[in-house]
Amino acid sequence: MKKIIGVSGLDKKKISILKKKFKQIIFLSLNDKNFYSKKFENVNAIIVYAEWPVSKSLKEFLTKKFDFFKNLEWVHLSRAGIDEFVQYSNKYKFKFTCGKIIQGPNVSEHCVALLLSLTRGLFNYDKNNFRPTEIYKKNVLVVGLGGIGVCVAEKINSFGAIVSCVDNSLKPNYSFIKNFYHLNDLSKIVGNYEIVINTTPLTRITENLFNKKIFSKMKQGVFFINVSRGAIVNTNDLKKYLLKNKFAGVGLDIIGKNDFTQKNPFLKFKNVVFTNHMAGITTDQTRRFDLIQSNLLNYSNRLPLLNLVDHIRGF
């Protein structure tokens, strides 16, 4: 019997490619209007390439109605951040995959752009009051060593920086990482670094991770970059330490718990760069579509799916 898969956000060209490649699968276009219709009651999988066609129904489904589809075996979201759904994932009867890891190239490039904007004074150069600094031979700490963190560490190392990393997993084996520490040791070692970069996923452990305790231990004149979720950084504590002139520069791709902040609380600070959640955006969607095709192949052949969400670790 053919599998039935509901797909969201795929154009006709991509759906045509999938139909030719996976002839044993029936692909049906999914949107908010037909999400809970009888036509889709028996789908075996849901693949969300873009969320806008199912933005209302998807959130409701993943937080409340996850038992609606009786034959559902697998749900895939193309985005990396799935923190708002993790608390429900232990109740899912289906396998849950996402776009983690594949966003490493674009988010890491954005991270470097934020850092260079600050170190070179590109955003607000005043030669009388500012002198550009080098990343070369600086001690850099990357907090979070997933797909994005590894790409950040590799790129920063290419500048000649001395890169160390923090994570709560096993010690990695990368030539471009000098030292590795457990997340529990962050407060003990964070003061040794001129540049601190956050790439951790938002979980119960990392929420509010960067607070007054960590900021107080940071070196005076440190550069701090956050290209992960806003809730990992305590906005009020960050503001207090900006007022204390703790930072040489702060680069933020997101502020607070909302993806798109209504009001920027850091506008008056000349040494803060904010890009309003742009790090994950890219013109190259190849990796996103390739991941879907790889997982469809694995799903068809009953092989392990890539990028499975671990509800215990939270990502």
Q: Where are the alpha helices (DSSP H) in 138-234?
A: 147-157, 186-189, 212-217
Q: What is the dihedral of CA 279, 285, 287, 293, to 10 degrees?
A: 140
Per-residue pLDDT band at 258 (split at 50, 70, 90): low
pLDDT of residue 125: 67
pLDDT of residue 174: 93
Is the CATH number 3.40.30.10 carried by domain 3-101+283-300? Answer: no
**Residue 154 to residue 159: CA distance in whole angstroms:** 9
Rama region for 160: left / alpha / beta (φ>0; ψ in -120 to 50; rest): left
pTM of the model: 0.90
Q: What is the mean pLDDT of residues 233-258?
A: 94
pLDDT of residue 169: 84
Task: Please state which CATH number belongs to domain 104-274.
Answer: 3.40.50.720
pLDDT of residue 53: 96
C-alpha count within 13 angstroms, C-beta hemisphere, residue 210: 34
Q: What is the mean pLDDT of residues 235-249?
A: 96
Q: Which of 51-65, 150-164, 258-272 has the lowest mean pLDDT?
A: 258-272
Query: Is the torsion defined by CA of 78, 82, 85, 89 positive or negative?
Result: positive
Three-class SS of residue 272?
Answer: strand
pLDDT of residue 84: 87
Please, what is the average pLDDT of the chain? 93
Read off the pLDDT of residues 209-222 as tens digits, 9 standing for 90 and up. Answer: 999 999 999 999 99
Pairing relationship of beta strands 3-8 and 45-48 according to DSSP bridges: parallel
pLDDT of residue 261: 65
pLDDT of residue 301: 95
Tell me whether domains 3-101+283-300 and 104-274 share a fold.
Answer: yes
Q: What percent of the chain has pLDDT over 90?
A: 79
Write down the domain spans for the chain. Answer: 3-101+283-300, 104-274
Q: What is the dihedral of CA 181, 252, 100, 149, to 10 degrees?
A: -30
